[in-house]
Every structure is written in C-alpha cells, then in structure tokens.
Amino acid sequence: MRFEYTDGKNEDFIGLCHSLDDFLNSLVGGEENRADYIPYNALDDIHDVIVVYDEDNPIGCASFKKYDNKCAEIKRVFIKEKYRGKGISQKLMAKLEGLAKNQGYSFFILESGEPLVAAMKLYYSIGYKVISNYGPYVDMKNSICMRKAL
C-alpha cells in the first residue's frame, strides 16, 4: 500500500469520488435521495487529499478542508469494496489526522449518517464523538455530525 498526498484536482481522487457517489446512490436509492448533500461535497475547496494505492491502482481516499482556524472538516472518505475490512481506513485516517495537525488544526469535524454503517463504526473506533449538527447539516435529520480533538 502506498499513501500519496495530493489535492482535490488529482484525477485518481476525482475518480474515487465518483465511485463514492455511486456507492452512496445505491445505498440510499438514487441521487435524488441525497440531493440536499451534493452541494456540500464539491471538490473546489478541497486542497488536502490522501489517495491510497495498491501498486498503481487507486483504492481509497480521504480529504479535509478548512472549517475555521482551529478546525478542519473531513470530506470524501472512501475505500473500494474489495479492500474494506483490512485496516486501510484506520491507517488512512491516522495519516489524514497527522496532516491536519501538522497544519495547525486542533479538531476534525465530519458529517455522516446511519446508513453508512462501516463509516460510523470506523469513526467511533478511532475516537470520534457525536456532536450537534453544524453548518449546513443543522436541519438535516439524517445527518450525524462528529468531532475529534487532534
């Protein structure tokens, strides 16, 4: 496994984000059922990305963007199905947390939801705690927001 630091314009990251969108669409019964979330997953503001490779094959990604001076928001975490359950996501998240900490961030926040069973299990297992919904997710009843001190 190779972990490559890059940005939101990386072709492999963009491809993995399309795979994530396809996964989410299948999970919730189509893009129309997650239309309220789509505007908050644009890649324009994402400058900090890690892509995971198995040899030259991109198999996963995670990223963050600035929320405020002390806090960054995790975005677009995804591991291809064939590679799930192998501890890759924990390593990926640890590297992402280290990158944010090195940039001076004190906290990570994220938005997830109950249908994302594996993601929620990951976040709980590495120390994320549920918080009140923040920002655009305040009135989204299917959102679960979380936070972790770095």
2-149: CATH superfamily: Gcn5-related N-acetyltransferase (GNAT) (3.40.630.30)
For the residues of 59-96, what is the DSSP string, one character each? EEEEEEEESSSSEEEEEEEEE-GGGTTSSHHHHHHHHH
- Kindly report, residue by residue over 45-73, the tens digit of the pLDDT: 899 999 999 999 999 999 999 999 999 99
- Contact between residue 33 and residue 45 where contact means Cβ atoms under 8 Å apart: no
Whole-prediction pTM: 0.92
How many CA atoms within 13 Å lie on the side-chain side of 30?
2
What does the block give as tokens for 76? 């677009």
Pairwise CA distance, residues 92 & 49, whole Å = 10
Pairwise CA distance, residues 139 & 86, whole Å = 35
Low-confidence ranges of the chain (pLDDT < 50): none
